[in-house]
Structure 1
Amino acid sequence: MEVKPSIVFAESVYMTEEAIKRLSNAAKVVWAECESEKELIETLNREKAKVVVSEYFPITARLMDSVPSLRGVVVYGVGYDHIDIEAASERGIYVANARGANAESVAEHVFTMILALSRKIFQAHSFVKEGKWRKREESSLPKSLTPSDLKGKTIGIIGFGAIGSRVGAIAKCFGMRVLVYDPYVPVEKVKNAGAEQVSLETLMKSSDYVTLHCVLSDETRGMIGERELKLMKPTAYLINASRGGVIVEEALIRALRENWIAGAGLDVFAEEPLKPDNPLLRMDNVILSPHIAGGSREALDNVSLTVCEEALRIIRDEVPVNLVNRRQLKTKGYRV
């Protein structure tokens, strides 16, 4: 009897019935839900796992060295800052993600925040609910409730991959000017999208809305700090649905307190969940959500199927389509 290769899920994540069926036809699927690295290593070795799927569970060099059967790591989602990419590349281990699978969900969430901020939705809602709306005349309303149109405004997109480019497409529908900062994307791609490739400094200075769509890496960690925030217009808003560590949170809190910028929409944070004493929780010029931008039902279905496909490619000894460490593996002489 042929022994199926094993695919271990480090955490409990949503997978469609179709995805589970396809995985089960080709492999033994194990739901580990481990509390510690030691426990996960034991599970991976017991199952002689070829693939581990991780949403947030750290996949370290020590784990890789402890599991000789491991050939690939599949990220449940897009962000891979919890995976030691260099260690995986040195050991010839594929790291794949579900790039693009939740792009629509994140892009729509970003624009939900942009519209809520520009139209003063939460302030207007509270104004009515608190019984402050006593006169029908518009002139009787406080200026703090005056909304702004998006048409003619400038949006600056940092990171122009699947999500960033979708945000840009939506922005064009609103009649916005689109600026892009992404040193890894060809100028032609940006131009074809009707956007302008600019420096980070120009983007921060010129944009009415700045939205972040880059992975968290050594290069991007803390890339938006005091200097960058002070470049922004006092009427501008900052949106982050990528990773909290891209922004220096202490600098952002100061920027919001001292009105360097008008406000922010945040779906991700330096530490998640937020601690009860985090100043962001007490600010009126901030919209917060609990890291759900990429979590629509449709997005989860897409992520599920993409994770399934990438895991199956690895157990068939094929190169993943959404290979995160392609450049590193190629440099080290591995097949990509």
Structure 2
Amino acid sequence: MTRVLAAGDHFVAPRLFDTALRGEPGLPGDLDVTHLTAGWPTEPFGPVGTGDSRVEEASGTEDDLVAALDGVRVCLTQMAPFTARVFDASPALEMVAVCRGGPVNVDLAAADRAGVAVTQAPGRNAAAAAEYAVGMALAALRRIPLAAAELREGRWRGDFYDYDEAGLELDGATVGLVGYGAIGRIVARVLRAFGATVLVADPYTDRATAETDGVRLVELDELLRASSVVSLHARLSDETRGMIGARELDLMPDGAVLVNTARGGLLDHAPLPEALRSGRLGGLALDVFDVEPPPEDWPLRDAPNVVATPHLAGATRQTAHRAAAIAAGEAGRFLRGEAVCHPANETARNAQGVAS
């Protein structure tokens, strides 16, 4: 019997994994798929495990996962906590297909030690996150949430038509994108359709790609000085953590709008209240935070020029189905004895699957 665990949650549900996997051709006839459901997003994700056996942005418990993995050879998941302890306790496990762009809920070194192949799902939420980032920029530039809230309270804010209070357009604006992966490239395409000039700061993007896409590759400081809107799309790492702080905010034009739908850790949040009060920032749009959810005393909770949403950029049904399909495709390739397309660790890069 070929046992597979669909370890989903309330977004990428186990049934989505199950249906997508059963649509793969050439799978073993003795396939047995069991389900496990973690609490996310009803329960926030976070670190799971202790000491050296710890992973980030995970949902569920090590004990529940170990119990569900008994005899399982392949697992499809989004948030399950694959710590060193879980790998040590799951000797039958040979492959984990993670339906995220970065499998931060998996200890990749422990997976390699255990000989378990791990794959990922780059671009699964690129369209959703890109659309959301542009929507957040528009919301902040035109103060759409504030105007809607005021109207609901019975206040007709005709003063927003005053010249000094009026919003700004994307057409003709210079927009800077910090990070230019799958999401950033879609954002750039949409912004150019609006008529914006797009600058990009990304050390991993080559000039030829930027020129082909119709954007201009520049250093971060030049981007900040020139952009009336700055949108963050970098992956969080030791290199990028806190990359936009007080110095960088001071480089931006007065009244500029800052958008972060990537990761809260990219921003140093401490100088943001003063930047907003002083007018250095004309608007701030956040879908991610340094602490999620923000505490009750979050200083920006009532700021009128802040648009804040609870980490929803990737929350579309299409993203859930796409994520499940990418993970199922990787699991299918592995079970057929084929090389996987999106390896996340050395074992997956070297694997030829488990077909006999």
Could you tell me which residue of structure 1 aligns to residue 118 of structure 2?
A: 95
Give the secondary structure class of the aligned counterpart of 1:115. Answer: helix
Structure 1 regions of 5+ residues with no counterpart?
none
Rounded to whole Å, the distance in 1 between the matches of 2:319 and 2:157 is: 43
Could you tell me which residue of structure 1 aligns to residue 258 of structure 2?
A: 238
Could you tell me which residue of structure 1 aligns to residue 86 of structure 2?
A: 63
Rounded to whole Å, the distance in 1 between the matches of 2:153 and 2:35 is: 48
The partner residue of 1:81 within 104, 109, 113 is 104
Could you tell me which residue of structure 1 aligns to residue 78 of structure 2?
A: 54
Please tell me whether residue 43 in structure 1 is matched to residue 68 in structure 2: yes
Give the secondary structure class of the aligned counterpart of 1:73. Answer: strand
Please tell me whether residue 289 in structure 1 is matched to residue 289 in structure 2: no
Rounded to whole Å, the distance in 2 between the matches of 1:313 and 1:252 is: 47
Could you tell me which residue of structure 2 aligns to residue 206 of structure 1?
A: 226
How far the C-alpha of 1:213 sits from its partner, in A, is: 1.5
Could you tell me which residue of structure 1 aligns to residue 54 of structure 2?
A: none
Give the secondary structure class of the aligned counterpart of 2:301. Answer: helix
Task: State the TM-score, normalizing by the size of structure 1.
Answer: 0.84
Tell me which protein shows more strand as a share of its residues: 2
Could you tell me which residue of structure 1 aligns to residue 179 of structure 2?
A: 159
Amino acid at match of 1:41: V
1:313/1:228 Cα in 2 relative to 1: closer, same or farther (>3 Å)?
A: farther
Q: Give identity over the alignment, percent.
A: 34
1:302/1:50 Cα in 2 relative to 1: closer, same or farther (>3 Å)?
A: closer
Rounded to whole Å, the distance in 2 between the matches of 1:150 and 1:100 is: 25
Could you tell me which residue of structure 1 aligns to residue 43 of structure 2?
A: none
Rounded to whole Å, the distance in 1 between the matches of 2:157 and 2:177 is: 40
Rounded to whole Å, the distance in 1 between the matches of 2:336 and 2:196 is: 46
Rounded to whole Å, the distance in 1 between the matches of 2:16 and 2:81 is: 27
User: Deviations for 1:110-129, whole angstroms, at most 9, x for unmatched residues?
Assistant: 11111111122233334444
Amino acid at match of 1:47: G
Give the secondary structure class of the aligned counterpart of 1:80. Answer: coil
1:155/1:72 Cα in 2 relative to 1: closer, same or farther (>3 Å)?
A: farther
1:217/1:75 Cα in 2 relative to 1: closer, same or farther (>3 Å)?
A: farther
- Conserved 8 A contact 2:73-2:93: yes
Rounded to whole Å, the distance in 1 between the matches of 2:157 and 2:265 is: 44
What's the C-alpha RMSD, in Å, of the aligned pairs?
A: 2.9
Query: What does residue range 258-277 of structure 1 map to in structure 2 within 5 Å?
Result: 258-277=278-297
1:192/1:259 Cα in 2 relative to 1: closer, same or farther (>3 Å)?
A: same
Rounded to whole Å, the distance in 2 between the matches of 1:8 and 1:279 is: 40
Please tell me whether residue 112 in structure 1 is matched to residue 110 in structure 2: no
Rounded to whole Å, the distance in 2 between the matches of 1:208 and 1:313 is: 46
Give the secondary structure class of the aligned counterpart of 2:67. Answer: helix
How far the C-alpha of 1:185 sits from its partner, in A, is: 2.3
1:195/1:240 Cα in 2 relative to 1: closer, same or farther (>3 Å)?
A: same
How far the C-alpha of 1:87 sits from its partner, in A, is: 4.0
Rounded to whole Å, the distance in 2 between the matches of 1:270 and 1:15 is: 27
User: Deviations for 1:193-219, whole angstroms, at most 9, x for unmatched residues?
Assistant: 001111122222221111112222233
Rounded to whole Å, the distance in 1 between the matches of 2:225 and 2:114 is: 43
Could you tell me which residue of structure 1 aligns to residue 33 of structure 2?
A: 29
How far the C-alpha of 1:254 sits from its partner, in A, is: 4.2
Rounded to whole Å, the distance in 2 between the matches of 1:19 and 1:81 is: 19
Could you tell me which residue of structure 1 aligns to residue 4 of structure 2?
A: 6
- Conserved 8 A contact 2:6-2:17: no
Could you tell me which residue of structure 1 aligns to residue 321 of structure 2?
A: 301
Rounded to whole Å, the distance in 2 between the matches of 1:143 and 1:131 is: 23
- Conserved 8 A contact 1:156-1:207: yes
Rounded to whole Å, the distance in 2 between the matches of 1:115 and 1:134 is: 18
- Conserved 8 A contact 2:12-2:78: no
Give the secondary structure class of the aligned counterpart of 2:199. Answer: strand
User: More displaced, 46-55 or 207-216?
Assistant: 46-55
Rounded to whole Å, the distance in 2 between the matches of 1:256 and 1:90 is: 48
User: Deviations for 1:94-142, whole angstroms, at most 9, x for unmatched residues?
Assistant: 333222222221111111111111122233334444444387xx8x954
Q: How many residues align?
A: 325
Tell me which protein shows more helix as a share of its residues: 1
- Conserved 8 A contact 2:74-2:331: no
Could you tell me which residue of structure 2 aligns to residue 171 of structure 1?
A: 191
Give the secondary structure class of the aligned counterpart of 2:177. Answer: strand
Could you tell me which residue of structure 2 aligns to residue 183 of structure 1?
A: 203
User: More displaced, 125-134 or 212-221?
Assistant: 125-134
1:134/1:185 Cα in 2 relative to 1: closer, same or farther (>3 Å)?
A: closer
- Conserved 8 A contact 1:79-1:215: no
